[in-house]
Structure 1
Amino acid sequence: MADDTTGETKPQPKQEGAVINLVVKDQSGAEVHFKVKTHTKLEKVINAYCAKKSIVPSTVRFVFDGTRVNPNSSPEDLGMDDGDSIDVFQEQVGGRRP
């Protein structure tokens, strides 16, 4: 029988956040799926979505559970679970008539 008590410490696997699937939905119902780690800033998702759709990030807003998404937040910060969706809306300017 082999005895594994040689005193060597084996390198532990790097502890990384769990991976979840997020869905980004626009107003027309089109969906883009992302796999992200729970500690990744949502800025990466926002930038990737805008690049894919060829839109400027400042012209849209991202909303999760009725609250605007802060790009510096992570899915963990917002309590997101696997399969949650983020809504994307066109930013509206004005709205009042003289």
Structure 2
Amino acid sequence: MANKDSKPEGEGNEYIKLKVVGQDSNEIHFRVKMTTQMGKLKKSYSERVGVPVASLRFLFDGRRINDEETPKALEMENDDVIEVYQEQLGGNH
């Protein structure tokens, strides 16, 4: 494992563990590559909870996560938390 530190250019293939926490405080843990687009994680989460991905908002540090962003681009670290909220639709009632 010591050579992990000696190859900084290999960081793109590193894995990271993320916690995705829903409004019900239910946590689902994901292990993704630093270069994986977040759209893939969003889709996996929505399939696990049985809710369409379009009806969910994913936030990291209070900022909405775009599908094409990666953990590396978002400067995520192990055990960082992604918050998930139901998208508020309508409002005419």
TM-score (norm 1): 0.79
Partner of 2:54: 58
Partner of 1:27: 23
Indicate the percent of aligned positions where both proteins have the same amino acid: 36
Q: Residue 77 in 1 paired to residue 60 in 2?
A: no
Report which of the two structures shows the higher radius of gyration computed on alpha carbons.
1
Moved over 6 A (4+): none
Q: 1:96 Cα shift?
A: 5.3
Over aligned residues, Cα RMSD in angstroms? 1.2
TM-score (norm 2): 0.83
1:7-63 deviation line (CA, Å, top 9, x unaligned): xxxxxxxx4521110000001100000000101111111010001111101101000
What is the CA–CA distance in structure 2 between the aligned matches of 1:84 and 1:57, rounded to whole Å? Answer: 21
Note the residue ranges of structure 1 that are not aligned, 5 or more in a row.
1-14
Aligned residues: 83
Q: Which has the higher helix share?
A: 2
